[in-house]
A and B are shown apart, each in its own frame.
Chain A
Amino acid sequence: MSKIIGIDLGTTNSCMSVMEGGSAKVIPNAEGANTTPSIVVPDQNIVGIPAKRQQVVNPKNTVFSIKRLVGRRYDDPDIQKIKDSYPYEIVEGKNGLACVEVEGKVYTPQEISAKILSKMKADAEAFLGEKVTKAIITVPAYFNDSQRTATKEAGQIAGFEVDRIINEPTASSLAYGLDKKKNEKIVVYDLGGGTFDVSILEIGDGVFEVKATNGDTYLGGDDFDQKVIDWLLEEFKKENGVDISKDRQAMQRLKDAAEKAKIELSSTMETEINIPFITADSSGPKHLNIKLTRAKLEQLVDDLIQRTKLPMENALKDSGLKKEDIDEVVLVGGMTRMPKVTQTVKEFFGKEPNKSINPDEVVALGAGIQGGVLSGDVKDVLLLDVTPLTLGIETLGAVSTPLINRNTTIPTQKSQVFSTAADNQTSVEINVLQGEREMAADNKSLGRFMLDGIAPAPRGLPQIEVTFDIDASGILNVTAKDKATGKEQRITIQGGTGLSKEEVEKMVKESEMHADEDKKKKEEVEARNLADGLCYTAEKSLKDAGDKVPEDVKKDIEEKVKNIRDGLQTDSSDVLKQKTQELSSSLQKIGEHLYKQGGPESTSSSTENKEGSENQKKDSEEDKNDPVEGEIVE
């Protein structure tokens, strides 16, 4: 069955998506961009960005915003209003419908839209490597029958079998999966490049009903940019006494910089607008260098944001609903990236809006999902579960060491080699933990078991392989195996991942809340483990080196070891780190003395061992390639 693509045929930009592997994905156009400008030169068949580039040269033949004409009568007051301001010719066509005339030829808006759709079809086919014949096209919720029919015709002219025309706000809600909810009331706030739409939908049994729509057909991102440009011009004039508003080249650079600054201020609090050599007068070149803060930007565009409030009030009134009745708010359109816009909507409805999906693509993605539903793709998808929380074991110092990270798709398996924490330790206890916290005690213990019969050996030498295996139904098998003896023990945990959504959310939230504190605790434990490990190494080295080490060095090391041991449980991690550092430099003296005594025979094998073990330790700290990655608590 051929794929059904979803198309957001926009006033200024269009975007398309397709269902792939269970989720909708935006299809980039031939130029590599995710959106295509809805601009057409019909007589030369130029569509998209190239058409936009030649607009200045060829204004009479460059058709833009055709969506404002689709399915409308020539005598419609809206058409009469734009007729004189648009550079291309709008004429009366058959049946009194609005058409455009380019180079003596009359085109219906359907034919113009079809050229945009044809380009998208060709680009989609090139991207997917197969013929695309079916499409879902979105339209604004307020489109009437004539406008919807015209849009469908445009699709047919482009060679599509138009499976369905769906409302843009419905598509956005689908993208957020809101169709799965029951009897909810949804507000979609769409502030794009040139238009503002607010729609109120009610959903019941997967069917969306439009309760009310409102908006402002001439309000969008371009107005925001203009405010910034005007302010920059004013500031530059104040500072330099030069008016650059007549200099087309300077204005172009200013426009680009203003848009860039606006976008930057959605993620930073302050930005610097730098345009070197923007102009020159008799005194030499002039540069524009102005700071713009987010607060200032918000002040500049405040009236524009306030203008979106009345349509929201009106839509609510028309729907007969109160603010409290609204269950979900969805944000669409590039301008909703601005924090102040989000905040305004949030304050208005008293609800955190849905905004995680790219607001420029959300409509197209929703249309793609609808396409997937119609072609049966969505139902056929094999839903693989993920582990909702991290799974791991407790290691030395009561630290939780993760083996399988949260959100890993199951079935999955992971092994890691651990070792003992003390000399001649013959058994280890495996405590299986679930949760995001750094310390074992803060996580949930799913079960514990002992592996005994480990051959007596110095600490860190035995290799105990711990394997976590989760099958497709979420059953967790934990195996611990002593690599030397081959002895193994296992535990099966049923429904280890079967936590309720609330429990998972609570645990994840807690871990985020305690992240800093946990990290500190873990650092302390690590400092303690490191100090303890070094004491052990020190004692072992002294023993191995025997009388080759001068008494004073030996005494110094012994003192330092005692000093660390005394404070091991009470010192702060900083103090311990300091002490560890000191001991480490003293230890180097052992090596120095051994080498000073010279001769191959005096470089005893035990020294080599010592160096080997130190290297090993370093490796394990640095790149974790070493098998001894952690030590199981005794």
Chain B
Amino acid sequence: MKEDKSMKKSKDGTDMQIKELETKIVSLENSWKRAVADYKNLEKRTAEEKTNYMHFTKSQVIKEFLPFFDNLERLEDHTNDEGLKLVIKDLKNTLKNMGVEEVDALGKDFDHNTMEAMELKKGEKNKVLEIYQKGYLLNGNLLRPAKVVVGQE
């Protein structure tokens, strides 16, 4: 009798232990699956980020170089050199091939999505009268807004 009881007790103990271990396995399995899933997601995210970084780097580099282009065009306003004209033409072509496109601003309605208003002057309302600095798009996304003078009645 006494023995039976103790056996039952130890059986209960084993059952409990098994249950405990089973719960632990489930929880560990869950954490493990989660970790693997996390990793898979990270891989996908990393691949995506890589592409994004590439686009970002490209646009950063072009953005950094735009001021030189601006200055070449300013130089063109002051000189009448055939060679310079060719250089600028070449550069424009290269930019175009890279997906860079000038923001068409002069004479158009002011658009806050692609232009930044710097000054108001007398003229047709809301029309771009002058361009301080040209704006550019890269594959349709704004690279740099055009800095413009807008008309005011």
Please report A residues at the B interface, Cβ cutoff 8 Å.
Answer: 21, 31-32, 46, 50-57, 248-249, 252-253, 276-277, 280, 284-285, 382
Among B1-9, B80-88, B93-101, B114-122, the stretch that binds chain A is B114-122
Residue of B at shortest CB range from A260?
B67
A56 touches B120 (CB 8 A): yes
A249 touches B132 (CB 8 A): yes
Task: Indicate whether A249 sits within 8 Å of B118 (C-beta atoms), given known contacts A276-B71, A277-B71, A285-B78.
Answer: yes
A54 touches B78 (CB 8 A): no
Q: Is B29 interfacial (CB-CB < 8 Å)?
A: no
Within 8 A of A (CB), among B109-142: 110, 112-113, 115-120, 126, 132-133, 142
SS of B interface (majority): mixed
Which residues in B have their C-beta under 8 angstroms from that of A55? 117
The tally of residues in B whose CB lies under 8 Å from a CB in A reads 27
B74 touches A277 (CB 8 A): yes
Please report B residues at the A interface, Cβ cutoff 8 Å.
Answer: 31, 35, 38, 42, 56, 71, 74-75, 77-78, 110, 112-113, 115-120, 126, 132-133, 142, 145, 147, 150, 152
A277 touches B145 (CB 8 A): no
6 of the cross-chain contacts (CB-CB < 8 Å) are A51-B112, A54-B117, A57-B120, A252-B132, A276-B71, A285-B78
A276 touches B112 (CB 8 A): no
A50 to B142, CA, bound (A): 11
Task: Indicate whether A53 sits within 8 Å of B116 (C-beta atoms), given known contacts A277-B71, A277-B75, A280-B78.
Answer: yes
Task: Indicate whether A57 sits within 8 Å of B150 (C-beta atoms), given known contacts A249-B118, A252-B132, A276-B74.
Answer: yes
Residue of A at shortest CB range from B72?
A276
Task: Indicate whether A248 sits within 8 Å of B118 (C-beta atoms), given known contacts A54-B112, A57-B126.
Answer: yes
Which residues in A have their C-beta under 8 angstroms from that of B75? 276-277
Which residues in B have their C-beta under 8 angstroms from that of A382? 31, 35
A56 touches B74 (CB 8 A): no
Which residues in B have their C-beta under 8 angstroms from that of A248? 118-119, 132
Task: Indicate whether A21 sits within 8 Å of B78 (C-beta atoms), given known contacts A54-B110, A249-B132, A252-B147.
Answer: no
A467 to B142, CA, bound (A): 51
Which residues in B have their C-beta under 8 angstroms from that of A285? 74, 78
Which residues in B have their C-beta under 8 angstroms from that of A253? 133
Which residues in A have their C-beta under 8 angstroms from that of B31? 382
Which residues in A have their C-beta under 8 angstroms from that of B132? 248-249, 252
B115 touches A53 (CB 8 A): yes
A197 to B141, CA, bound (A): 37
A277 to B120, CA, bound (A): 23
Least CB distance from A610 to B in Å reads 44
A50 touches B112 (CB 8 A): yes
A285 to B76, CA, bound (A): 12
Least CB distance from A20 to B in Å reads 10
Residue of A at shortest CB range from B141?
A32
Q: A21-B42, A54-B112, A252-B133 are in contact. List 13 more A-B contacts (CB 8 A).
A: A32-B56, A53-B115, A54-B117, A57-B150, A248-B119, A249-B118, A249-B132, A253-B133, A276-B75, A277-B71, A277-B74, A284-B78, A382-B31
Which residues in B have their C-beta under 8 angstroms from that of A56? 117-120, 150
Task: Indicate whether A57 sits within 8 Å of B35 (C-beta atoms), given known contacts A50-B112, A276-B71, A277-B75.
Answer: no
A46 to B31, CA, bound (A): 44
A53 to B119, CA, bound (A): 11
Which residues in A have their C-beta under 8 angstroms from that of B38? 21
Which residues in A have their C-beta under 8 angstroms from that of B77? 277
Least CB distance from A523 to B in Å reads 34
Which residues in A have their C-beta under 8 angstroms from that of B120? 56-57
A499 to B24, CA, bound (A): 31
Which residues in A have their C-beta under 8 angstroms from that of B142? 31
A188 to B142, CA, bound (A): 37
Least CB distance from A277 to B in Å reads 4
Which residues in A have their C-beta under 8 angstroms from that of B115? 53
Residue of B at shortest CB range from A285?
B78
A53 touches B117 (CB 8 A): yes
Least CB distance from A250 to B in Å reads 10
Which residues in A have their C-beta under 8 angstroms from that of B133? 252-253
A382 to B34, CA, bound (A): 11
Least CB distance from A175 to B in Å reads 23
Q: Nearest 4 CB-CB pairs, A to B?
A: A54-B112, A56-B117, A277-B74, A53-B116
B71 touches A57 (CB 8 A): no
Task: Indicate whether A46 sits within 8 Å of B112 (C-beta atoms), given known contacts A56-B120, A248-B119, A252-B147.
Answer: yes
